Amino acid sequence: MKIDAHQHFWKYNSEKHAWIDESMSVIRKDFLPEDLKPLLDHEGFDGTVAVQADESLEENDFLLGLAKDNPWIKKVVGWVDLCSDKVEADLEKYSDTPNMCGFRMILQGQPPELMADNAFRKGIGLLEKFGYTYDILIFPHHLKETIDLVKSFPNQPFVIDHLAKPYIKDGKIDEWAENMRTLAGFDNVCCKVSGMVTEADWNKWTKADLTPYMDVVFEAFGSKRLMFGSDWPVALLAADYPQNAGIIKNYIEALSEREQADVLGFTAANFYGIK
């Protein structure tokens, strides 16, 4: 089974999607299952994991509705406010919803210190109680606090989105690489090989720009803890779907068939509970 472990859907709304600024006009429109399915078929993917793009409980209902109508949307990573005093009730609401596999509270725009906050950590502890995964969306300056977080919750499955968004455009790698190797030392942490083209120069990126960063995570995590994600449609800012899929497919050609299968599906299936 081949799985795109990270993509989004939305009905474009200028207020809800205010993060889509003038430089991102190519994605200022609706992106729905009927837009993605032909691309998946062309690249040989059997299904996807739909990840929240809007920070609201309504987003969860939207994505779960799409998954119900489109069985190839295998799982949903939703949103909750982990710092809320209502978080346990919010999580319990989805406990009988098989398609809801985990959650993502976006951290990239928050101070790194939030990950040490008592309320946030209480919320993370409740994810473990209900058996949910957690997607960590951060920048490199969050990595030291992330290391402490995953160390503190050894039984909680975590996945790092987009390689923690390394500074590919600027060619910065050393400090990021050191922290990623440390993160990989924790067995409860996986990593998504995704979102690279939008951290590079959107108009002039090359495979050579991306390769050093893939080298680091493949050496550190190994195929059984790495999963491909297209980050469609956000990645359209810098690459179309075949280009994006081709980056990882070309990179893993030298690996064994089993290792390739891990990255293109089995890791995501094991992490998110896809049968």
Altogether, the residues listed in the chain come to a count of: 275
pLDDT at 16 over 90: no
pLDDT at residue 110 in the model: 97
- Segment 164-192 shows an average pLDDT of 98
pLDDT at residue 27 in the model: 96
Higher pLDDT, 14 or 216: 216
- Segment 30-41 shows an average pLDDT of 98
Summarize pLDDT for 183-209 with one digit per residue, the tens.
999 999 999 999 999 999 999 999 999
Task: Provide the residue ranges of all domains of the chain, joining segments of one domain with +.
Answer: 3-272
- Segment 167-173 shows an average pLDDT of 97
How does the average pLDDT of the chain come out, rounded? Answer: 97
pLDDT at residue 18 in the model: 87
Radius of gyration of the chain (CA): 17
pLDDT at residue 188 in the model: 98
Which fold does the domain 3-272 belong to in CATH? TIM Barrel (3.20.20)
pLDDT at 149 over 90: yes
Summarize pLDDT for 115-129 with one digit per residue, the tens.
999 999 999 999 999
pLDDT band at 49 (very low <50, low <70, confident <90, very high): very high
Summarize pLDDT for 60-118 with one digit per residue, the tens.
999 999 999 999 999 999 999 999 999 999 999 999 999 999 999 999 999 999 999 99
pLDDT at 9 over 90: yes
pLDDT band at 43 (very low <50, low <70, confident <90, very high): very high
pLDDT at residue 14 in the model: 86
Furthest-apart CA atoms within the chain: distance in Å: 49
pTM for the full model? 0.97
- Segment 234-262 shows an average pLDDT of 97
- Non-local CB neighbours of 114 within 8 Å, separated by 6+ positions: 83, 107, 120
pLDDT at residue 98 in the model: 95
